[in-house]
Structure 1
């Protein structure tokens, strides 16, 4: 043991240190000074994800939040010029469409040629002048434009009116659901559905909502209040306000009579604007454009070239996938994401971070 510890072990350690020293010398003075002209190139390659066009069913269903609103009162207009001589009903009366509300008396101006003809029966001109013609009148009834409650009555007895003057208003007592539409939803509803399904929050069962109307969203005029009410101490650079989404509109549909609702209730409107079964589809992320015409990118045959743009004709889309009417064959592959556009990130997830949790 004494020989092993005093002779063998020291020799082994010397040999180990010698090998390490020789390796360091080789790395520093031999391999480090050698210039073989070789260039390092990355070996890993990132391939753009592709997806194949396949067949599926596209149901163009748009669901949006809305609010129950009372339908606006319908104005009652004078339909003749003259004097109000009679009221058939009082304010607050329940009316059916076409019921009489008031009566207007209009004086008929005699025709001068007719007046001249009355002197041909032998009477003298002096007698004709001495006996003025008795006035004649016509009577016009102003009718209720819709069924409902006579909310206002704007005229008085013996008041002179002209055609088109406001005579009052009739509240129909009906309700509608109104919801806001984004630009993308407006494009999806170009083929306006005739009916929708309305669902009242914590209310009656879903019902068919008729008379679907699409239009521009009404804007409220602030009258410049925001600019005039800024305190003097706060005068300075103001952060720009993001403009509202261009082309935002609204949809309105009628609540069926007899449905228990009241103004201000929350509701959901579901509109179905068509269904295409067993059609060629792609995810919307793979297509630039969502309506009528679009562009897809077909990868190069060798996989290394520049992807080629290809126009396609689009049909229905459901917000996730779109129908490809022409321009692609079934199974043909395209880039899954439009070049230069950010991939869609699920709600609540930060870009670049995968979903968390088990």
Structure 2
């Protein structure tokens, strides 16, 4: 027993420590000097997503959130100078366009004719009578003229409330580009109101435009209560709400529509306008996320046939519905394109946490 404790046990411990020392030296100085190329390949690789150009029907409808607004009263202006001699309509009366509101008397200038028997006699005064007419139909909200009052041409003497309403709402740059052509009829859905109804008098106007909407192909503004108009910048992929890829949704104009007279509405009601701007049936399409640009000309990256570098290609574009865009030329059905423009973030993976989306490297 004494020999085991004094000789065998110490030798066994020495052998154990020697094995441990050799293992540590191998890990530190042998395995650590191996070439990095011999390291195992990563368990996962990032694949650049591609999508094929496919045929589909593109329906370009744009939804705009707006409100019901009362059309502004129109001023009544005297079209003749003279003295008021008769008033035909009282304040608060309902009038039609062209109804006579009041009458003025204007003295006509008469030149005295010379007489053979002596000095020319002073001519008798001659008067002309003019009716001042209502410029539009509605309620005579105000009439300030009095009998024997002198009025001048162009003088504002009253106001007519048309009693009509307009639905108007702001539009963003992407929505304007989708409505470059004259917008078609709109369907109006009122919050807490009647069933949706059609509205045909749609007006589109830029915020910076003062031409009454004529430059956009729409009708002139139907009243001052609704600033009627729309504007533009590059449309980005996304929903029809017009939010840009960077999250911006700054209004650049206004779209409006006169409410038909047979619809009962109230100022201040919220409304959704669904505006139709064309349909392209059975056309080649790609996602908007695949295209740099979304109006007229665009750029896509066509995937290489054997895994090579993507080919940048210019294509011509037609309608888009906020998700896909029509390709009128430059790309054929079935060709594979990158799903996302190089350098932009791909769609968020629902299985990943915030900030863990996949980014496509710039090519």
Common fold: TM-score over 0.5: yes
What secondary structure sits across from 2:195 in the alignment? coil
The equivalent of 2:98 in structure 1 is: 98
The aligned residue for residue 86 of structure 1 is 86
Q: Does 1 or 2 have the higher relative contact order (CA < 8 Å, sep 6+)?
A: 1
Question: CA–CA distance in 2 between the matches of 1:346 and 1:259?
Answer: 46
Counterpart contact for 1:216–1:247, Cα < 8 Å:
no
Match of 1:314 in 2: 317
Equivalent residue, structure 1, for 2:336: 333
Aligned residues: 309
> Which of the two has greater helix per residue?
1
Structure 1 residue 279 corresponds to structure 2 residue 283: yes
- TM-superposed deviation, 1:343: 3.5
RMSD of equivalent CA atoms: 3.3
Kindly report structure 1 stretches of 4+ aligned residues shifted beyond 4 Å. 11-25, 28-32, 34-45, 244-247, 344-347
Aligned partners of 1:285 and 1:344 also within 8 Å: no
Displacement of 1:308 after TM fit?
2.7
Provide closer, same or farther for how the CA distance between residues 79 and 40 of structure 1 changes in structure 2, counting only shifts above 3 A: same
Q: Distance in 2 between matches of 1:346 and 1:108?
A: 84
Question: What is the match of residue 254 of structure 1?
Answer: 258
Match of 1:302 in 2: 306
Q: 1:151 to 1:344 in 2, by over 3 A?
A: farther
* Cα distance between partner residues in 1 of 2:306 and 2:349: 33
The runs of 5 or more residues in structure 1 that have no matched partner are 1-10, 219-243
CA contact (8 A) 1:293 1:311 kept: yes
Matched, 1:155 2:145: yes
What's the TM-score, normalizing by structure 2? 0.75
| Structure 1 Cα separation of the partners of residues 95 and 197 of structure 2 | 27
How far residue 213 of structure 1 moved from its aligned partner, in angstroms, is 1.0
Contact 2:57 2:282 in 1 (8 A): yes
Q: 1:85 offset after TM fit, Å? A: 1.6
Secondary structure class of the residue paired with 1:248: strand
**TM-score, normalised by the number of residues in structure 1:** 0.76
